[in-house]
């Protein structure tokens, strides 16, 4: 009987393991020594990030990084928000400022100031010296950066991480100079253009919005089946025009966060609807996909002449069907008329996930992993592969990276053009609700553009959906 029961138990365990493997189950994660990292990276960038993970794990034997690609930026935010509610938050995550504005209300966002200039060391090993018989040559690694290394960050990117940029930060226990995020990589919007088509029309790339609209009639007369302009983000377009023209988008003032429902934005949306009726415009939501897919078709096949999209997505604009070019987004008149939006992920550390008993140690190790991601040679490789710009000045001094910027590949050209726009970049105020505002103004632009509703109604609906009266 004992032998029979033992046999049944063994069979049950085998079957259970088989079912687990078949279902894709993994061994339980040791969260005390595993840094969980959420990103929105596409599959093509995962091998690049794996290099930083391998470097970190080689330096600190016994520590692991679990890289989870959670979807797009909004998907990362949604998953982090859900996990914070369940106490299962990651240790590190991609973020935008408006994401962190919601996270800080939990008190789980780590103030990284205590680590930035820390001279405390952690003992690891020299990478490449560990073998099966040896743990490797010991080496002490400093947790923090030197002041020289901190000064190496592009200041406008670094400054985005200060707590003072977040409405109500003091209510959640933070001080104005606390650093809540560090920049990872950056992108902006660029205007990709069909140079072959413009040459046939006798035109140069438009520098202003007025010039672009004037060109549209010439372009459609020459290429009747084409659409002159595609814009990949309705929300970015709305926000950029508010910044360029001083129309008001959002405010850090808790009593008056939402400024976008005004006469200027209504007039502009009405103007856009007119251009849409003329066949001059499409957008990502109107077209049903990124408009880069339309751009690369060429004008003779109903494509675009101009396509405005992220510098980080430049590879999707590449084509051999015609000669292309890249320039900055058109400007408006006025003091701030040359503004272009700053985008790209920052890194936020979160504490308290999975009820680990070594939270302080884990925070330090997570910060050391951040240092791997911000190391100049890794930043250079990530930029070359992704089209995003690095966040440290010294990357541009690396010989291989300097050579990359001189290449004629579309990704290299996009990175170079974007790098020359640093002084023109802007960000919007971050508060709990700024992410919703972004979604709502994008919806309003689409509704008014295609004529599903008039501009006044579209803006009023967006305002009410943000909680406005």
In this structure, what CATH number is given to the domain that contains residue 394?
3.40.190.10
Average pLDDT over residues 258-272: 98
206-229 core/surface letters (b: 16 or more CB in 10 A; e: else): beebeebbebbeebbebbeebbbb
354: left (phi over 0), alpha (psi -120 to 50) or beta: left
Q: Which of 405, 433, 457 is the last residue of a domain?
A: 405
249 pLDDT more than 80? yes
270 near 448, Cβ under 8 Å? yes
Q: What pLDDT, on a 0 to 100 scale, did the predictor assign at position 334? A: 85
Which region among 9-23, 38-52, 116-130 has the lowest average model confidence (pLDDT)?
A: 9-23
Cβ-based neighbours of 431, under 8 Å, separated by 6 or more = 98, 101, 166, 167, 168, 250, 252, 254, 257
15 band by pLDDT with thresholds 50, 70 and 90: very low
Distance CA 79, CA 441 (A): 23
Asked whether residue 119 falls in the same domain as residue 230, the answer is: no
What is the rounded CA–CA span in Å between residue 239 and residue 439? 11
Q: Domain for residue 17, yes or no?
A: no
Is there a single domain that holds both residue 167 and residue 177?
Answer: yes
Residues 41-51 have a mean pLDDT of 94
28: pLDDT confidence band, cut at 50, 70 and 90?
confident
Residue 7 reports pLDDT greater than 60: no
For residue 16, pLDDT over 60 is answered with no
Q: Which residues pair with 392 in a beta bridge?
A: 153
Considering only 53-57, 109-113, 130-134, 393-397, which range has the smallest mean pLDDT? Answer: 130-134
Q: Tell me which of 10-19, 109-118, 398-407, 424-433 is least confident.
A: 10-19
pLDDT at residue 248, as a whole number: 95
Please give the average per-residue pLDDT across 65-83, as a whole number: 96
In a shared domain, residues 152 and 223: no
The pLDDT assigned to 8 comes to 43
List the structure tokens of 318: 């590449």
Same domain, 62 and 177: yes
pLDDT band per the 50, 70, 90 thresholds, residue 19: very low
Q: Please check whether residue 10 lies inside any domain of the structure.
A: no
In whole angstroms, what is the distance from residue 298 CA to residue 226 CA?
Answer: 8
Do 81 and 222 lie in one domain? The reply is no
CA distance linking residue 394 with residue 416, whole number of Å: 15
Domain termination site, one of 363, 384, 405: 405
Q: Strand pairing partners for 278?
A: none
For residues 116 and 249, state if they share a domain.
Answer: no
Structural domains counted in the chain:
2
For residue 43, what are its two tokens?
């599959």
5 in any annotated domain: no
215 within a domain of the structure (yes/no): yes
Confidence class for position 18, pLDDT limits 50, 70, 90: very low
User: In this prediction, what percent of the chain has a pLDDT beyond 70?
Assistant: 94
Q: pLDDT-derived band of residue 468, with 50, 70 and 90 as boundaries?
A: confident
- pLDDT tens for 132-173 read 777 889 999 999 999 999 999 999 999 999 999 998 899 999
Q: Is the pLDDT of residue 24 over 90?
A: no
- 8 Å CB contact between 137 and 155: no
pLDDT band at 444 (very low <50, low <70, confident <90, very high): very high
Looking from the CA of 137 toward its CB, the CA atoms found within 13 Å total 4
Pairing verdict, β 227-231 and 187-194: unpaired
Q: Give the Cα separation of 100 and 183 in Å (integer).
A: 13
Is 388 within the bounds of a domain?
yes
**Domain annotation covers residue 12:** no
β-strands 281-283, 227-231 pairing: parallel
Q: Record the tokens describing residue 313, joined without a space.
A: 């997505």
- CA 35 to CA 67: how far, in whole Å? 8
Q: What percent of the chain has pLDDT over 90?
A: 87
Answer yes or no: do 72 and 159 share one domain. yes
d(CA 291, CA 284): 6
Sign of CA dihedral 37, 38, 41, 47: positive
Looking at 405, 426, 452, the residue that finishes a domain is 405
Quote the mean pLDDT of the chain.
Answer: 93
In a domain, 447, yes or no: yes
Closest CA relative to residue 228, chosen from 271, 192, 266, 190: 192
Q: What is the pLDDT of residue 232?
A: 96
Same structural domain for residues 312 and 223? yes
Q: Quick one: 253 and 390 in the same domain?
A: no
Q: Give the domain extent around 112.
A: 27-186+344-405
The answer to whether 411 touches 384, Cβ cutoff 8 Å, is yes
CB 303 within 8 A of CB 165: no
Whether 142 and 241 share a structural domain: no
Predicted confidence (pLDDT) at residue 22 exceeds the cutoff of 80: no
In a 3-state reduction of DSSP, which class is residue 10?
Answer: helix
CA angle, 79 as apex, 75 and 82 as ends, to 5°?
Answer: 140
DSSP 392: B
349, pLDDT greater than 50 = yes
166 and 295 both lie in a single domain: no
What's the mean pLDDT in 11-25? 39
| Residue 26 pLDDT grade (very low, low, confident, very high; cuts 50, 70, 90) | low
Q: Are residues 116 and 43 in the same domain?
A: yes
Any idea how long the chain is? 469
Look at residue 271 and tell me if it is in a domain: yes
What stretch of H or E contains 300? none
Q: What is the pLDDT of residue 469?
A: 61
CA distance 229 to 191: 10
Per-residue CA distances from 381 to 47, 318, 395 (Å):
11, 20, 10
Asked if 282 and 227 count as a contact pair (C-beta separation under 8 A), the reply is: yes
Q: Cα separations (Å) of 122 from 117, 119, 365?
A: 14, 10, 9
- Tell me what pLDDT residue 412 has: 97
Which pLDDT belongs to residue 278?
98
Of residues 169, 185, 38, 188, the one with CA closest to residue 100: 169
Contact (Cβ atoms closer than 8 angstroms) between residue 462 and residue 234 = no
């Amino acid at each position: 009987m004992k032998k029979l029961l033992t046999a049944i138990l063994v069979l049950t365990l085998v079957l259970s393991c088989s079912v687990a493997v078949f279902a894709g189950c993994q061994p339980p994660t040791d969260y005390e020594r595993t840094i969980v990292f959420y990103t929105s990276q596409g599959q093509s960038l995962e091998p690049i990030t794996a290099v930083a993970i391998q470097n970190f794990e080689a330096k600190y034997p016994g520590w692991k990084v679990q890289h989870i690609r959670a979807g797009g930026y909004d998907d990362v935010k949604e998953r982090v928000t859900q996990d914070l509610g369940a106490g299962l938050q990651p240790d590190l995550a991609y973020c935008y400022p408006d994401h962190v504005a919601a996270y800080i209300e939990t008190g789980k966002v780590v103030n990284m100031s205590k680590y930035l200039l820390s001279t405390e060391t952690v003992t690891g090993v020299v990478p490449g010296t560990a073998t099966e018989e040896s743990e490797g040559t010991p080496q002490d690694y400093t947790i923090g950066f030197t002041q020289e290394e901190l000064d190496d960050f592009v200041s406008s990117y670094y400054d985005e991480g200060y707590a003072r940029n977040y409405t109500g930060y003091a209510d959640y226990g933070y001080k104005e100079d606390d650093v809540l995020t560090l920049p990872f990589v950056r992108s902006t919007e660029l205007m990709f253009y069909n140079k072959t088509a413009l040459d046939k029309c006798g035109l140069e790339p438009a520098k202003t919005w007025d010039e672009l609209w004037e060109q549209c009639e010439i372009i459609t007369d020459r290429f009747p089946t084409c659409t002159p302009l595609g814009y990949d983000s309705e929300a970015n377009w709305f926000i950029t025009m508010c910044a360029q023209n001083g129309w008001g988008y959002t405010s850090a003032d808790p009593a008056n966060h939402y400024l976008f429902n005004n006469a200027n934005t209504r007039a502009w949306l009405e103007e856009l609807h007119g251009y849409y009726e003329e066949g001059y415009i499409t957008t990502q939501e109107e077209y049903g996909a990124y408009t880069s897919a339309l751009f690369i078709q060429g004008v003779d096949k109903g494509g675009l002449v101009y396509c405005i999209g992220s510098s980080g997505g430049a590879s999707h604009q590449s084509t051999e069907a015609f000669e292309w070019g890249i320039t900055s987004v058109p400007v408006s008149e006025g003091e701030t008329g040359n503004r272009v939006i700053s985008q790209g992920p920052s890194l936020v550390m979160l504490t308290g996930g999975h009820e680990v008993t070594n939270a302080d140690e884990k925070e330090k190790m997570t910060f050391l992993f951040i240092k791997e991601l911000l190391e100049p040679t890794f930043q250079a490789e990530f930029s070359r592969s992704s089209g995003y710009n690095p966040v440290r000045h010294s990357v541009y001094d690396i010989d291989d990276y300097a050579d990359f910027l001189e290449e004629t590949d579309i990704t290299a050209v996009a990175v170079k053009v974007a790098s020359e726009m640093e002084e023109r970049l802007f960000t919007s105020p971050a508060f709990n609700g700024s992410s919703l505002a972004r979604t709502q103004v994008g919806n309003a632009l689409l509704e008014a553009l295609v004529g599903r509703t008039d501009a006044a109604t579209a803006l009023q609906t967006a305002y009410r959906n943000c909680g406005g009266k």
